[in-house]
């Protein structure tokens, strides 16, 4: 990339994705274009590490460095970017734990760190990010309990994706103020205990739910009718038993349903075939 680009005095938004073979020096961008408000670099060679000096880009509101060759830990200086609203660092080899300084990023609405090698516990400081709407931490190596008491205070959170980690503990009886959730994925972890699906009663906006492949026992009370319409419901390997869930007769918009690897019995009633929105239906191994 021509270095003269970084000398443009009024440059505020720099987007360099979709240019295979282009080499970009991230450290040089940080040094010479600290006035940027938006930086998006995807699928390029940007160097191996995120420089600690990236915290000097105090004007950034959007930082997207996904699907690059970056590895190593996130620098503590990232917490200095207090105006940042969107951070997208997925599909990399970022390792270690999330730095505590990220608890100072109070303006964040989107935090996307899926498909990395993050480890350690999910920190309580996530609860400080009160403007957060999207939290994506799936496909990492996070462990320990999910800090529901902290997450439950983020009333604007609509997308919570924690699937494919090593998280354990139980799902709470109350999810606090998470009534804005549209997407909840905690699949493929080590969560345990009994979970009543009616505990989602206040999630009137939820459309996507995946609890599959944990050690959970999911129970659905007879005659329970949710106040929402699922588009996708994944409850594979959830130790479910009893008759086929009758509440599904009210789910007119459901497109994907997976109830495989349970102990459900009884008849699959005729109304199921009237739900014409299906594109995926898995009832195997019951």
Report pLDDT for 274: 83
Mean pLDDT (whole number) for 168-172: 93
- 183-201 pLDDT, tens digit per residue, is 999 999 999 999 999 999 8
Give the percent of the chain with pLDDT over 90: 61
Q: What distance in Å separates the CA atoms of residue 111 and residue 120, rounded to the nearest whole number? A: 17
* pLDDT score at 257: 95
Element (H, E) at 112: strand 110-112
Q: Provide the mean pLDDT of the chain.
A: 91
Residue-wise pLDDT tens digits, 18-48: 887 888 888 888 888 888 999 998 887 777 7
Contact 227, 204 (CB under 8 A): yes
Q: Give the residue with greater pLDDT, 38 vs 270.
A: 38
What confidence tier does 269 reach under pLDDT thresholds 50, 70, 90?
Answer: confident
- Per-residue model confidence as pLDDT tens digits over 60-114: 999 998 888 788 899 999 999 999 999 999 988 899 999 999 999 999 999 999 9
Report the CATH number of the 3-282 domain. 3.80.10.10
Closest listed residue to residue 117, CA positions, set 146, 144, 90, 88: 90
Question: Is the per-residue pLDDT at 158 higher than 90?
Answer: yes
Structure tokens at 280: 């995926």
187 within 8 A of 234, measured Cβ to Cβ: yes
Q: What is the pLDDT of residues 250-259, one digit of tens each?
A: 998 999 999 9
Range 113-129 average pLDDT: 92
Structure confidence at residue 275 (pLDDT): 83
Backbone angles phi, psi at 29, to 5 degrees: -60, -45
Q: What is the pLDDT of residue 91?
A: 84
Q: What is the pLDDT of residue 282?
A: 95
Q: For residues 275 and 248, is the Cβ–Cβ distance under 8 A? A: yes
Q: pLDDT value at position 266?
A: 85
Judge whether 72 and 94 are in contact, CB under 8 Å: yes
């Amino acid at each position: 990339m021509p270095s003269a680009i970084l000398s443009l005095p009024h440059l505020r938004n720099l987007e360099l994705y979709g240019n295979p073979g282009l080499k970009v020096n991230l450290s040089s961008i940080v040094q010479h274009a600290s006035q940027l408000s938006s930086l998006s670099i995807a699928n390029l060679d940007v160097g191996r590490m995120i420089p600690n000096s990236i915290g000097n880009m105090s004007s950034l509101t959007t930082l997207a460095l996904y699907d690059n060759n970056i590895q190593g830990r996130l620098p503590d200086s990232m917490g200095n970017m207090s105006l940042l609203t969107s951070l997208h660092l997925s599909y990399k080899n970022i390792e270690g734990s999330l730095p505590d300084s990220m608890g100072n990023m109070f303006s964040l609405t989107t935090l996307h760190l899926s498909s990395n090698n993050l480890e350690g516990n999910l920190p309580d400081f996530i609860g400080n990010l009160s403007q957060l709407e999207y939290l994506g931490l799936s496909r990492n190596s996070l462990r320990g309990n999910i800090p529901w008491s902290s997450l439950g205070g983020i009333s604007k959170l609509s997308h919570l994706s924690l699937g494919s980690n090593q998280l354990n503990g139980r799902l709470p009886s109350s999810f606090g103020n998470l009534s804005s959730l549209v997407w909840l994925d905690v699949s493929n972890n080590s969560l345990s205990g009994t979970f009543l699906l009616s505990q989602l009663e206040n999630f009137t906006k939820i459309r996507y739910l995946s609890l599959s492949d944990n050690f959970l026992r999911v129970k659905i009370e007879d005659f329970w009718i949710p106040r929402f319409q699922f588009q996708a419901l994944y409850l594979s390997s959830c130790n479910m038993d009893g008759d086929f869930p009758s509440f599904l007769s009210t789910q007119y918009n459901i497109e994907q349903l997976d109830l495989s690897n349970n102990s459900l019995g009884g008849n699959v009633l005729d109304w199921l075939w009237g739900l014409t929105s299906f594109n995926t239906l898995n009832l195997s191994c019951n």
